[in-house]
Structure 1
């Protein structure tokens, strides 16, 4: 009888833990945007030295993938604007305007990532 109860308890536990209606949670190492076919890691550094708009996010997704499309972000929604920073080459940093707080965050180009 104890074995039957234990077996039923284990089945209940396994069924409870495997709820297929739960979203698939992805694990990104960091937040990114892509621009001009380069991948930029979003930093906590802010800037006010904005030069000109260079693009806007076209695709937002939290699904982790090694194939990142141009103008993609795993943090910022579609329409989020990207900017060139004054006196900084875009192959080093670009700026992302956070729609929630209006702050421009620096995004650092990652070498060897496409």
Structure 2
């Protein structure tokens, strides 16, 4: 009986300890990003229909939050996702990210750069 009582009381403590120890693996980004040409772009929900041409491909994907972002990176899109120039729009303002058959506008974030290669 004593062993069962100790086990019942110890189980919640064990579960809380396990959950707490894995908490550092849970990452939370403020928004979805892609990087291109050593700049950071915030992905919007705005669809783009006029595409000018492909400008790059995502080379690295990670959900681990970091301040040192590599070039051609995304925290949302997988490796191989294509990036495009938007027709009649400068890439130093916006680019597009292909998600299946939809292209989403990504806005350059002023003051943010990727890590040095």
**Matched residues in 1 for 2:112 and 2:13: separation?**
39
- Give the alignment of 1:14-33 within 5 angstroms: 14-17=13-16, 18-19=18-19, 24-33=25-34
Instruction: For structure 2, list consecutive stretches of 5 or more residues without a partner in the other structure.
Output: none
1:11 counterpart residue number: 10
**Matched residues in 2 for 1:63 and 1:21: separation?**
13
Q: Structure 2-normalised TM-score?
A: 0.83
2:90 counterpart residue number: 89
**Matched residues in 1 for 2:87 and 2:55: separation?**
12
CA distance 1:49–1:15, change in 2 (3 Å)? same
Matched, 1:103 2:102: yes
Shift of 1:21: 7.0
Structure with more of its chain in strand, by fraction: 2
1:43 counterpart residue number: 44
Q: Which whole-Å deviations, capped at 9, do the CAs of 1:66-87 have from their partners, x for residues lacking one? A: 0000000000000000000011
Q: Structure 1-normalised TM-score?
A: 0.86
Q: Which whole-Å deviations, capped at 9, do the CAs of 1:69-108 have from their partners, x for residues lacking one? A: 0000000000000000011000110000003xx1000000
Instruction: For structure 1, list consecutive stretches of 5 or more residues without a partner in the other structure.
Output: none
Structure 1 runs, 4 residues or longer, greater than 6 Å off: none
CA distance 1:14–1:112, change in 2 (3 Å)? same
Shift of 1:13: 1.3
Cα RMSD of the aligned pairs, angstroms, is: 2.6
Shift of 1:9: 5.1
